[in-house]
Amino acid sequence: MTLKYCQGPDCHTYTTQDRLKGTKPNKTYQTRRRSRMYYGQGNFCDQRCMYDWFDTFGEQAINHFGRTTEVKHLTEDNAWVKDYDWRNGSYNNDERTYYSVNKITKEQRPLTEAQYRDNNYTINTGE
């Protein structure tokens, strides 16, 4: 089990019992260290720390990784998404109906469960 530190820039400033560490005369608030973080793809202990990070570094991150500079278009060619009918299956996923649906035309095409779970499988033909 590997412990990770929360990446929130102000995590150590929030006064919660689990952040208070040390012996009686030398207690300090510290950045949370956990085996599992649930926010920001496992990098932040809570939403407050995740939003603190974005408020501090978001502009720099967007400039580094690429700012959107033109309109993006959803067309019939690139509007296909995978979905399933949760009402046609039991709690443990038996007999679910998987399909691709075009978000513009509402057309549905059946998929196998393997196609649905394959992250590389798509019907999209455009950008």
Last residue of a domain, one of 17, 47, 65: 65
Last residue of a domain, one of 42, 65, 88: 65
Q: What is the pLDDT of residue 52?
A: 98
Number of domains in the chain: 2
Give, for all 127 residues of the chain, the pLDDT tens digit: 799 999 999 999 999 999 999 999 999 999 999 999 999 999 999 999 999 999 999 999 999 999 999 999 999 999 999 999 877 555 665 678 899 999 999 999 999 999 999 999 988 766 5
Residues 76 and 124 in one domain: yes
The answer to whether the beta carbons of residues 79 and 102 sit under 8 Å apart is yes
Query: Domain containing 40: what range?
Result: 4-65
Residues 81 and 123 in one domain: yes
Residues 40 and 86 in one domain: no
Q: What is the pLDDT of residue 124?
A: 73
Residues 10 and 58 in one domain: yes
Q: What is the pLDDT of residue 96?
A: 84
For 1, how many CA atoms within 13 A lie in the half-sphere containing its CB?
Answer: 6
